[in-house]
Amino acid sequence: MLTPEIIKKINDFVFLKPRTIDEIAKYIRKNWRTANRYVEGIAEQQGTLAIRVFREGTRGALKIVYWASIEQIHSSAFQEQLFE
């Protein structure tokens, strides 16, 4: 069951750096299929996470989850000056 606590836990974990589905599954202590379903649900409902699949269609496929929301990315003073 995808609860607000699990959503916050996954979002905070992925915000630090991109993670694999396996890392997320171990972090929340769930099966990788459950973690995959949770991440897909968060990506669809909230849009804060995005998924990239490498070697898709093979047994060695690798799913990387990364932060997709630009709300919490803070720019430096120099970047703000360039933007203005």
- In this prediction the pTM is 0.79
Query: What residue spans define the domains of the chain?
Result: 4-83
Model confidence at 68, in pLDDT bands (50, 70, 90)? Answer: confident
Q: Does residue 82 or residue 12 have the better pLDDT?
A: 12
Tokens of 43: 């990506």
Burial status of residue 80 (CB atoms within 10 A of its CB: 0-12, 13-18, 19 or more) = exposed
The pLDDT of residue 8 is: 93
User: Is domain 4-83 classified as CATH 3.30.1050.10?
Assistant: no
Q: What is the pLDDT of residues 6-65, one digit of tens each?
A: 999 999 999 999 999 999 999 999 999 999 999 999 999 988 999 999 999 999 899 999
